[in-house]
Structure 1
Amino acid sequence: MNNYEKNIIRVCDYINQNLDDDLTLDMLSTVSGFSKYHFHRVFSAFTGVNLIKFIQMSRLKRASFRLVFKADIKIIDIAFEAGFESPEAFSRAFKREFGQSPSEFRKFPEWLNWHEKTDTLAMPLIEKANNKMDVKVIDFKEQKVAALAHYGDPKLHYQTSMKFVAWRKTSKLSPIKTSKTYGIPYSDPHVVKAEDFHFDLCGSVTVDIPENEYGVVNQTIPAGRCAVVRDIGNRDDLRKGVYYLYQQWLPTSGEQCRDFPVFFHYVNFVHDVPEHEVITDIYLPIK
């Protein structure tokens, strides 16, 4: 990765960490180390979008999470947080980008279209696999969980998340704020066909849950030793941490894998904290 790419990535990180600030061309060109006369063109050449578009789309992406997972926040407040002077201006911009008004998206988000638009914000990241990551070996205690299966396109996983959140709120058996949230992928979304992808979204519980209309079932994450690595930032691609465990740590560790898939502990959520503060612990079960 050359210095140009690293500088542009630094700018993108700065934008996402400071979405509430007045992000001017002069300020961001200073962050980039490029002359302001060239920075805008260099940024567009590397990202495929102009600077203003990137900033607005980053704010709209954050707003979309607020709309869906923070129903208690009014749309007008989300509009102002996203930097718009009025809810009308926010609604026009949101519909122009995602094809739905904020209120429509809040009720029935079209996630495939949303991914198509927000994937343009994905920057090539410095490979974590090339950097040493801090791996800890722990004894994981058996965890009873309520699980909701997701089958099919991984880009529709937020749809399953919405359903699981609704069950948690209705049942009150796995409170979002006090229970742990896990993800168990039974296949690699980058390897299998979209229709063959299987993933369980889980919340810790202390009692068995009754049969319910949401399709949430009882399940257990077994006890045993696990190698754990922490990923911080965008949760759209956790494979670098996963591959680090398999490719670099496991072959030199003398350990062997147990008969249970890698699983994730979602320490916090993008609708609660800025995207660069999202924490995910990746567990590799070992013998």
Structure 2
Amino acid sequence: MKAALQNHHARMRRVLDHIDRHLDSDLDLETLSRVAALSKFHFHRQFTATFGLSVHRYVQLARMKRASHRLAFRDAQSVTEIAMDAGYDAPDAFARAFRQRFGQSPSAFRTSPDWEPWLAAFGPLDNARSKLVQKSFTADDVTIRDVPPTRVAIMEHRGDPATLGATIQRFIAWRKAAGLHPRTSPTFNVWRSERRPASPADYSIDLCVGTDRPIDAKGEPIKTGEIPGGRCAVLRVIGNTDNLEPAALYLYRDWLPASGEEARDFPIYCQRLSFFPEVPEHEAVADLFLPLT
């Protein structure tokens, strides 16, 4: 029974990876059932039973998530191009579907996103992915590195995590205007609070970009700071980097007590090495750093 369950999970993970890599391609039931090596009849029923979403609904949400990310965080593509990449034959059909799901037109969302309906709309997709995509970690996944100090420019987010998307949007726009591209200037997040504090108002995270250049804030609340150097336990997470809480809990709750190490007085932080939607979601990479004494 255990081997059969593992085989089933492997088939379904293979399908999710295929969807991530081929969002621009034909992802009909016949194509995906071949990836799973199952008949269309059995594949459709097993997919829905496993993820709580039909294949068609899952693909729709995955395409719409990429489209919304591109609208909010990437301005190189037009709304028409984004609509076509999302599988719509015409921009007006995309606009109707987008407004129905998020309560805003694509153009309005690009200018001023309303993040609460956005988060609610993708709850079913995130729940589906978490059923199989979450990774378990072992001590072999953790390395200890001597990390040099890094000068950073910081945009602080303080308050409800539901509004974090707006801060990220401003941060991306500022660093783009400042010429601090992710390929040449590393991206860090420093968590100053738990992911879900008792009061949403207590949520606290620093969005950082590594740079030694003088900072032109351009009217934004940007300040300079430093991520201190020193020994760190480092855990690499590949895929599902939107939620690094399981990896952080592993480092604090499991790895640290068993290692004999002691945590330093600096928060856990991550460096984001590759980003969705530049890469398929399952290929996004982040290194999580737990500072040690």
Query: Structure 1-normalised TM-score?
Result: 0.91
- The structure 2 residue matched to 1:75, chosen from 72, 76, 79, is 79
Q: CA RMSD in A?
A: 2.1
Task: Please say if residues 196 and 203 of structure 2, whose CA atoms lie closer than 8 Å, have aligned partners that are also in contact.
Answer: no
- Which aligned pairs between 1:27-46 and structure 2 lie closer than 5 A? 27-46=31-50
- The structure 1 residue matched to 2:150, chosen from 125, 129, 143, is 143
- The structure 1 residue matched to 2:66, chosen from 62, 66, 81, is 62
| CA-to-aligned-CA distance 1:51-98 (integer Å, 9 cap, x gap) | 111111111110111112221211111111112111122212222222
Secondary structure in 2 matching 1:128? coil
Query: Per the alignment, do residues 10 and 205 of structure 1 end up closer, same or farther by CA in structure 2, a change over 3 Å counting?
Result: same
Task: Please say if residues 70 and 271 of structure 1, whose CA atoms lie closer than 8 Å, have aligned partners that are also in contact.
Answer: no
Give 5+ residue unaligned stretches, structure 1: none
Task: Please say if residues 208 and 218 of structure 1, whose CA atoms lie closer than 8 Å, have aligned partners that are also in contact.
Answer: no
1:42: Cα distance to partner?
Answer: 2.7
Residue 107 (structure 1) aligns with: 111
- The whole-number CA distance in structure 2 between the counterparts of 1:192 and 1:263 is 21
Query: Per the alignment, do residues 97 and 209 of structure 1 end up closer, same or farther by CA in structure 2, a change over 3 Å counting?
Result: same
- The structure 1 residue matched to 2:238, chosen from 232, 243, 248, is 232
1:49: Cα distance to partner?
Answer: 2.3
Residue 165 (structure 1) aligns with: 172
- The whole-number CA distance in structure 1 between the counterparts of 2:185 and 2:137 is 34
Query: Per the alignment, do residues 133 and 96 of structure 1 end up closer, same or farther by CA in structure 2, a change over 3 Å counting?
Result: farther
1:197 aligns with 2:197: no
- The structure 1 residue matched to 2:280, chosen from 262, 274, 280, is 274
- The whole-number CA distance in structure 2 between the counterparts of 1:149 and 1:10 is 38
Secondary structure in 1 matching 2:122? helix
Task: Please say if residues 128 and 244 of structure 1, whose CA atoms lie closer than 8 Å, have aligned partners that are also in contact.
Answer: no
- The whole-number CA distance in structure 2 between the counterparts of 1:184 and 1:135 is 19
Kindly provide the amino acid, as one letter, of the partner of residue 185 in structure 2.
S
Secondary structure in 1 matching 2:163? helix
Deviates more, 1:154-163 or 1:247-256: 247-256
Kindly provide the amino acid, as one letter, of the partner of residue 91 in structure 1.
A
Residue 222 (structure 2) aligns with: 216
Residue 268 (structure 2) aligns with: 262
Secondary structure in 2 matching 1:112? helix
May I ask how many residue pairs the two structures share in their alignment? 286
1:210: Cα distance to partner?
Answer: 5.4
- The whole-number CA distance in structure 2 between the counterparts of 1:21 and 1:214 is 40
Task: Please say if residues 68 and 105 of structure 1, whose CA atoms lie closer than 8 Å, have aligned partners that are also in contact.
Answer: yes
- The whole-number CA distance in structure 2 between the counterparts of 1:127 and 1:43 is 17
Query: Structure 2-normalised TM-score?
Result: 0.89
Residue 184 (structure 2) aligns with: 178
Q: List structure 1 segments (4+ residues) > 6 angstroms apart after TM superposition.
A: none
- The structure 2 residue matched to 1:153, chosen from 160, 163, 179, is 160
- The whole-number CA distance in structure 1 between the counterparts of 2:181 and 2:23 is 29
Kindly provide the amino acid, as one letter, of the partner of residue 47 in structure 1.
F
1:274: Cα distance to partner?
Answer: 1.6
Work out the percentage of aligned pairs sharing the same amino acid.
Answer: 40
1:133: Cα distance to partner?
Answer: 4.9
1:24: Cα distance to partner?
Answer: 2.0
Task: Please say if residues 139 and 255 of structure 2, whose CA atoms lie closer than 8 Å, have aligned partners that are also in contact.
Answer: no
1:211: Cα distance to partner?
Answer: 5.9
Deviates more, 1:230-239 or 1:185-194: 185-194
